[in-house]
Structure 1
């Protein structure tokens, strides 16, 4: 009688997180508490975790590693770091053939050459949806013809005060009596002016008709408590008019609670038996 073969134990993908601010900590907690077939193997926190060997995440001890060590021992790298670190993270991760999950759409838009690094080494870039809605519909519409794409972002002034464009132009957003439009231009121009604030615009541009034709408005609105995005698409297959109001993350009001959840959802799609959405 033939010997019965034992089922092979499933190997769970090893995940490393770079950037342990509000988003990174949120993703780490979800990975530890929910698991979903992943192992949080290590984190890299830059200067914030300098000389720290490990951190506690939901009662688990997670090693703190240098970027190269993290890439060496992980299958998936999750980028939750500031946009200025994106290039170094992408080069290290993709150059080693890893999967890179990020919400830094603006940084990706300014560093599209990393696609070639991924292609050459067998890596993969996954831009998580982040704070945007309707991305599947936009991607589908782009298979036909999109005539126009516009994003209108309205944020509380406190969410924009540290933006590169605001600081360089010495805009005073304190005590605004009413909503003020502080920027209008293409998604590419927005990515350069607001590298840490327009990941939604970059994701929309990459999913749709590109950064030159995707138009963006940014408003500082003192009456708002939530970051609000309205997407308007005119295409030969559909007309989309969508609005999202994101609940701010208490640890960092400039980002929404949904961002960490979006990254976790993207990770689960990698491992899923059934995937919902395109």
Structure 2
């Protein structure tokens, strides 16, 4: 009797757009090995800056312009400046492929990408990133959520250069004690702090939307971590959650964000998946 042969599976090809702290860590994890995936290509604003460590990978990926990534990959990890989201995401979801988006705030100004994905059979994935509890919020949203409120405290340098800071002439260098610098909706925060508050937009998309999700932002010289506290009232549960993220090499981004993307990629072919 002949033993049945194990079905073969073609590895999914992954592209990474942007090689900052997040993209670099995800590329290295893929090179070390994630079941069913292969790092096919990367794109960066300054490719020469990354030639050395890319050359040290076990299998060096192709280095391409973002407009060519969809030709060689099935999934793209968007780790780039928010202004590039359309040029990165549209070719993938328009071809029925998957785009993992970290610049979640930019989705609010490019909502037609979601419709494009729907029409083409593609998918936009917003990973948990630097927040916790999105599974609980998603579950509560199946019922009725009454309110979602988030309070973020960041080291002063983590907010430097944000459009809201510049437009309102806030001299954050002179802040010597915790100062609330913003209160409003997640949509407003996404515009004013595009590199800082993608977590708030992810929270809003999981729950009651960017116009009903309320947010406070504090510039706090007494903290060294990005701190987020979320409170949710719903007909299924009342819950709160808090996380303190250690900043990466980029003070605007927590180290756990890259780990969240890696965890998502590992789930794609995992024999056991935990979480919604």
Q: Fold conserved (TM > 0.5)? A: yes
**Corresponding residue of 1:83:** 82
* Compared CA separation, residues 4 and 275, structure 1 to 2 (3 A): closer
| Contact 1:52–1:64 under 8 Å retained in 2 | no
* Alpha-carbon distance, 1:110 to partner: 2.2
Residues 165-192 of structure 1 deviation map (CA, whole Å, 9 limit, x = unaligned): 1122221111322111111001111111
CA RMSD of aligned residues (A): 1.9
Name 1:48's counterpart in structure 2: 46
Aligned partner of 1:254 in structure 2 is 252
State the 1:273 CA deviation: 2.6
Higher strand share: 1
Measure the CA separation in 2 of the matches of 1:6 and 1:19. 40
1:69 offset after TM fit, Å?
2.3
How far apart are 1:57 and its partner, in Å? 5.2
Asked whether the 8 Å contact 1:110–1:191 carries over to 2, the reply is: no
Aligned to 1:214: 213
Alignment TM-score, normalising by the size of structure 1: 0.93
Question: How far apart are 1:9 and its partner, in Å?
Answer: 2.3
- Note closer, same or farther for the CA distance 1:29–1:146 as it changes in structure 2 (3 Å cut): same
**Counterpart of 1:67?**
66
| Runs of 4+ with deviation above 6 angstroms | 50-54
- Kept in 1, the 8 Å contact 2:79–2:102? The answer is yes
User: How far does the alpha carbon of each residue in 1:114-135 deviate from its partner, in whole angstroms, 9 at most, with x for none?
Assistant: 0111122221111101001000
Q: Measure the CA separation in 2 of the matches of 1:57 and 1:199.
A: 32
Give the alignment's TM-score, normalised by structure 2.
0.94
Is the 2:34–2:266 contact (alpha carbons within 8 Å) kept by the matching residues of 1? no
Superposition deviation, residue 28 in structure 1? 0.6
In terms of mean alpha carbon deviation, does 230-239 or 88-97 score higher?
A: 88-97
In the alignment, what sits opposite 1:240? 239
C-alpha separation in 2, matches of 1:99 and 1:123: 6
1:77 counterpart SS class: strand
Distance 2:114 2:59 in 1: 35
Where structure 2 has 5 or more consecutive residues not aligned to the other structure, the ranges are none
- Deviations 1:91-130 (Å, cap 9, x if unpaired)? 1211122111122211112211101111222211111010
Structure 1: gaps of 5 or more residues:
none
Aligned-pair CA distance for 1:52: 8.1
Question: Partner of 1:196 in structure 2?
Answer: 195
Q: Which residue pairs with 2:24 in the alignment?
A: 25
Distance 1:227 1:167 in 2: 21
CA apart distance, 1:53: 7.7
Cα distance in structure 2, aligned partners of 1:155 and 1:69: 37
Instruction: Give the SS at the match of 1:253.
Output: coil
Where do 1:3-152 residues align within 5 Å?
Answer: 6-45=5-44, 47-49=45-47, 55-56=54-55, 58-152=57-151
Which residue matches 1:271? 269
Select between 95-104 and 6-15 the one with higher mean Cα deviation.
Answer: 6-15
Equivalent pairs counted in the alignment come to: 275
- After TM superposition, the structure 1 stretch with the greater mean CA deviation from structure 2, 212-221 or 96-105, is 96-105
CA contact (8 A) 1:107 1:195 kept: yes
DSSP-derived class of the 2:188 partner: helix
Alpha-carbon shift at residue 5 of structure 1 (Å): 6.3
Partner in structure 1 of residue 164 of structure 2: 165
Contact 1:75–1:99, Cα closer than 8 Å, also in 2 = yes
Kindly state the Cα deviation for residue 270 of structure 1 after the two structures are TM-superposed: 2.1
